Structure 1
Amino acid sequence: MEQLNTSTHKNVTVPSMPQIPRMLPLKQVVHYTGLSSTTIYDMLDKRSNRYDPNFPVQVKLSKGRVAWVESEVAQWIESKIAARIC
């Protein structure tokens, strides 16, 4: 059996794969935030008294299908936790 000479092999750097953002459907955003779907859409509506300019805006994926970027939803939740009065 032939042996490999490991001293002749050079370290090869494999390019890292790009991070693909995970997309959350409305049902998961409702679950993670504890908000209703109506409240979420009100928070996105500038005419609503529930409007929150910091709430992540959905991404249109196709006709009739939207989702939210998971990291943006997580940041919004973390900002709410950080802003609470202890």
Structure 2
Amino acid sequence: MRLRSLLKCLGVGRSTVYDRINPNSPRYDASFPKPIRLSGAGGKGGAVGWLESAVYQWLAARVNEKASLIDRQRADQ
């Protein structure tokens, strides 16, 4: 999945994606799928993409976390 498709799938902006994969960002998410280099050798530059299956698994995990949180809040009431 290329960046444009990822942004559309997640409904977020480019900077949000790069914040999620940057360990120095306060918005870093270690569970966020890592990009895979599609072209270019070694260093910086070149095309990257994300595995669709990893993106959908990450989304499913987020949905499950949110559902668990809602269930716990209801149980506490």
Q: How many residues align?
A: 63
Q: Please identify runs of 4+ aligned residues in structure 1 that moved more than 6 A.
A: none
TM-score (norm. length: structure 2): 0.78
1:47 aligns with 24
Task: Specify the structure having the higher radius of gyration (Cα).
Answer: 1
**C-alpha RMSD of matched pairs (Å):** 0.8
The residue that corresponds to 1:82 in the other structure is: 64
Q: What is the TM-score when the length of structure 1 is the normalising length?
A: 0.70
> Which structure has more helix as a fraction of its residues?
2
Structure 1 residues not aligned, in runs of 5+? 1-23
Identity %: 33
2:51 matched to which residue of 1?
Answer: 69
What are structure 2's unaligned runs of at least 5 residues? 41-45, 71-77
